[in-house]
């Protein structure tokens, strides 16, 4: 199982248009602060995308991926699905997975595309590319059922929290325990956030779940330049790879 963080940024990404903060300037100068919008590539006996960011085309070209075996959507915020249009004329009949409310919303936008819809029930595992996937309810207002994703390959488990604040349901927390890798939403270092976790909350979640490794994603420009901030926080970066 191979995991690639295709995009580790928040909705406006870094550099943010019009911003000259240290992180944005580092991004403009070619540093690892340069973050595209959120997407994760899962590789087993094929390729699965967790979310399709607006930067999908560049991400797939950079990862040298020409086709995918499935797309799993966590929730219908534009920075997590808008890039699905990049499959238009590139790949037909893409298999798409998610809970009913999410698929209803996203697929209404992409009425012009061909796809194969798979409605998934929370907490019920399903198999894809030789791996087991489970969608877990998280808390990301205003959505009633935003999800995280559990990916398992034998005794190896990866948890992707998706966009969430720290109020994750107990049923989900139980299925997130003892992961080899926790990919955690951590938008900013210390801000009090309504829809997301901050760095301290993400670190606390990793400890509570006994994750062997925690890495931050959905990172905003609030941390400062990557090379400096990553000395304190486990920041992910675009193109970061994990193998199990």
> What pLDDT score does 187 carry?
97
pTM value is 0.97
Quick check: 144 pLDDT over 90?
no
Question: How many CA atoms within 13 Å lie on the side-chain side of 156?
Answer: 12
Percent of the chain with pLDDT over 70: 100
CB atoms within 10 A of CB 203: 17
- 152-167 confidence digits (pLDDT tens): 999 999 999 999 999 9
At 50 the pLDDT is: 98
Burial 50-88 (b: 16+ CB within 10 A, else e): bbbbbbbebbbeebeeeebbbbbbbbbbebbbbbbebbe
Nearest to 167 by CA among 200, 203, 205, 199: 205
Q: Which domains does the chain have, with CATH numbers?
A: 2-243 (3.60.15.10)
* Predicted pLDDT of residue 65: 96
Has residue 236 got a pLDDT over 90?
yes
Q: Please give the average per-residue pLDDT across 74-99, as a whole number.
A: 96
Contact 236, 217 (CB under 8 A): yes
- How open is the CA angle 134-137-139, to the nearest 5 degrees? 145
Q: Which helix (H) or strand (E) holds 118?
A: strand 115-119
């Amino acid at each position: 199982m191979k995991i690639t963080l295709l995009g580790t940024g928040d909705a406006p990404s870094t550099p943010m248009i019009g911003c000259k903060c240290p992180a944005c300037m580092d991004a403009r100068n070619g540093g690892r602060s340069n973050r595209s919008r959120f997407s994760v590539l899962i590789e087993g006996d094929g390729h699965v995308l967790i979310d399709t960011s607006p930067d999908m085309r560049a991400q797939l070209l950079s990862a040298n991926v020409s086709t995918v075996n499935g797309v799993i959507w966590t929730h219908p915020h534009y920075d997590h699905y808008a890039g699905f249009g990049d499959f238009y004329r590139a790949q037909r009949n893409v298999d798409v997975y998610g809970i009913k409310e999410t698929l209803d919303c996203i697929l209404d936008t992409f009425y012009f595309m061909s796809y194969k819809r798979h409605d998934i029930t929370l907490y019920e595992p399903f198999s894809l590319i030789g791996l087991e996937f489970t969608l877990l309810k998280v808390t990301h207002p205003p959505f009633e059922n935003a999800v995280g994703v559990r990916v398992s390959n034998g005794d190896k488990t990866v948890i992707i929290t998706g966009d969430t604040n720290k109020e994750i349901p107990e049923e989900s927390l139980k299925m997130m325990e003892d992961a080899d890798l926790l990919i955690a939403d951590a938008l900013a270092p210390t801000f009090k956030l309504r829809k997301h976790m901050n760095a301290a909350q993400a670190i606390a979640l990793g400890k509570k779940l006994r994750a062997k490794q925690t890495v931050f994603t959905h990172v905003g420009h609030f941390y400062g330049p990557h090379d400096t901030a990553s000395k304190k926080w486990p920041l992910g970066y675009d193109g970061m790879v994990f193998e199990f």
